[in-house]
Amino acid sequence: MPQSSSVEQAGLTAARLVARGPRFAYDKTVRISLWASVLVVAALFTWGAWERRWIADDGLIVLRTVRNLLAGNGPVFNAGERVEANTSTLWTYLVYFGSVIGGPVRLEYVVLALALTLSVAGVVLAMLGAGRLYAPSLQGRRALMLPAGVLVYIAVPPARDFATSGLENGLVLAYLGLLWWMMVCWSQAFHANRPARRPGPRDGAPSIRRQPLGASAGPQERHAVSGFFDGALAFVAGMSVLVRPELALIGGGALVMMLIAARDWRRRGLIVLAGGLVPVLYQIFRMGYYALLFPGTAVAKEASGSKWAQGFTYLANFNQPYLLWAPAILLAGLAAVVLVTRGRPWWTHRAAAPGYGWLARMVQSPAAVVIFFIASGLLQALYWIRQGGDFMHGRVLLAPMFCMLLPIAVIPIVLPDTTRMARGAGYLFVGATSVLWLAVAGWALWAANSSGLGADATRVTYSGIVDERRFYSQATGHAHPLTAADYLDYPRMRAVLRALNDTPDGALLLPAGNYDQWDVVPAIPPPPDAPPEVKNQKGPHTVFFTNLGMLGMNVGLDVRVIDQIGLANPLAAHSDRLEDGRIGHDKNLFPDWAVAEGPFLKTSPWIPSYLDEDWVAQAEAALECPATEAMLNSVRAPMGPRRFLSNLVHAYQFTQYRIDRVPRYELIRCGLEVPESTVPPYTGMPATGP
């Protein structure tokens, strides 16, 4: 056979072996019960998520970026301003490609389908990974595989809320589930049982020897299998930072484990290349295009900051309505019983392939993978508690909880076997496992029907945490707000469309105290001697508002939409964080800055009475600070090779740069002169006429 055909055949064999994985001889009861559990849980989760379907305002933010991509404006929120307003890079581009494939289908429905599919896929992969984890010790034994940890996850109402929210939660579930399943397979690859033994006095069951992955293939095919799988796993692990930046702790940890277990430097090079190529290339793009080291959302929310007290408040807010400590205790008991009844535990497996040292055997083992995911979940939870959590009830703790539940997503109930243990002891363990499992199922039924935060669900209390789905359902009057049109019933939304239509010459729109109107700051009109083509141009529009998603999706891409928090506003993103601000909203740039930096009239009577002419003038002067000008030029100046290289070099400096939100203090910080006041000083005396 020619050499090329031999290599091609080896590649095909590798693909088949990787897809099949290590071969285990299950009892039919194990296989049937596992797949039955998968189907039941997937159906329950799909139904539960569909019953609570919605798309969050923050989910609509992603769609504004996708609209700009489709329009050829690039991955930006506002045309002409390079701001990365979405935390998950991979989610943005998945939605983009989904919209391209979907064609005329509304973007909201594309997101709904993607989010729900990925959420359910994550739960399914979690169960299949746990089933594979237990496979070696169930050979030749009768057992039932029942859902356990996944029941706890899908029972918590926020898990079903964020399965269709338009945010990247579904992608995170699918990613963690896939990484878990692949790492379990990796830990079992090329691991063989000890040589088969003849049945002894305590071994009545037939001895079934497990073959390592690719044992029946030749050396070339085994090498192709190993390289193909290691490359695929390294690629998945490396993509963690593009799913969400904090997941780099998990993906990076997985890559470190693979590098330790690799048998030669050639394999380590493959792992580094497969795991790092795409993230490194995108990081170069981010630094050159957005002039930042991290997504703009990380700068706006100060992802490196700490608010421990608020974080523990967030943890208590998540735990209290559902008594999460109860299933934690029950699942710990289940795990203990499962370990006792499984016979030969997974931590005794050793690598059979030559060239493995003790460290490699320890790292590439199921026990190490289990410990890794539990520890990763704890680290993720600690990160979010340190950060202060979120303003959405339970959202950011869902992924850490899911991560820690992976090793016990399903559990085996080993049926009594007199050849392994006394029949009485076997029934005792089955009874204990059954009681604990029924207790978990009972809790899940109770939690699934919990009222959650109760009366505080839709009120922004001192904690700043709300049930986001219920809040927007109530505020819009729609049980399932899915489309941007549904959010037109949110306060101020229809009024903003009227205000835009009523200001054809351009204006800055500021939210008024009356929900049915907006305060208007007119645009600077063209000079009287301007040519007709200039006078006939449509004036510039800017809207300054917190809820970027619903606003950005209901106005045209020619309308600049900015916020005081900094998700889409580079100036606000680089302002200082408020120590006691609402979590997730703890930057608050004064609207005076929006008047100052735009082509709008800046004096009375054109500005609202609650704005100060002096502050506007001071903000306008502060924008001339050289460092601020450089930061704004990095995202507003035309993109070219020189701009890209300049941004790349100064990305760290721009990421660290902060301004003072008070214009006068910002002028002092920059060493600039404070403009003279144009407003007469207050004397306490009534004004007199001429």
Three-point CA angle 354, 360, 365, nearest 5°? 100
What's the farthest any 2 CA atoms get from each other in the chain? Answer: 115
Q: What pLDDT score was predicted for residue 349? A: 47
pLDDT of residue 405: 97
- CA–CA separation, 126 vs 230, rounded Å? 20
pLDDT score for 463: 85
Residues 6 or more apart in contact with residue 446 via CB below 8 angstroms? none
| Domain boundary assignment for the chain | 24-192+225-344+361-449, 590-680
Tokens at residue 639, please?
A: 């993109």
3-class secondary-structure state, position 176: helix
Summarize pLDDT for 192-243 with one digit per residue, the tens. Answer: 433 333 344 444 444 434 444 444 445 555 555 667 888 999 999 999 999 9
186-224 as b/e: b if 16+ CB within 10 A:
bbbbbbbbeeeeeeeeeeeeeeeebebbbeebeeebbeb
- Residue ranges in the chain modelled with pLDDT below 70: 1-27, 190-226, 341-356, 417-427, 429, 530, 533-536, 681-690
Show the CA angle centred on residue 432, arms to residues 430 and 437, nearest 5°: 90
Q: Edge to edge, what strands does the sheet with 507-511 contain?
A: 518-522, 507-511, 541-544, 560-562
Closest C-alpha among 548, 598, 551, 547 to residue 571: 598
- C-alpha closest to that of 83 among 295, 258, 240, 274: 295
Residue 23 forms beta bridges with which residues?
211
Predicted local confidence at residue 207, as pLDDT:
40
For position 358, what pLDDT does the model report? 77
Alpha-carbon dihedral sign for residues 389, 390, 393, 398: negative
Structure tokens belonging to residue 293: 């080291």
Q: What per-residue confidence (pLDDT) applies to 395?
A: 95
Residue 254's pLDDT is 96
Q: What amino acid occupies position 41?
A: V
- CA 88/CA 380 separation, integer angstroms: 16
Contact 49, 163 (CB under 8 A): yes
User: What pLDDT, on a 0 to 100 scale, did the predictor assign at position 682?
Assistant: 64
Q: Tens digits of per-residue pLDDT, 169-205? A: 999 999 999 999 999 999 987 554 333 333 444 444 4
What mean pLDDT, rounded, does the chain reach?
Answer: 86
pLDDT for 362 equals 87
In 10 A of CB 503, how many CB atoms? 18
pTM of the model: 0.89
Q: Which residue has the tokens 């991509």?
A: 69
- 685: its two tokens: 């005396």
Distances (CA, A) of 341 to 201, 329, 434: 19, 19, 13
What pLDDT, on the 0 to 100 scale, is given for residue 222?
Answer: 54
- Give the residue carrying structure tokens 């981010």: 286
How far does the chain reach from its first CA to its final CA, in angstroms?
107
d(CA 354, CA 290): 48
| Tally of CB atoms within 10 A around 40 | 13
Residue 317 CA to residue 156 CA, distance in Å, equals 13
CA-to-CA distance for 522 and 540, rounded, in angstroms? 10
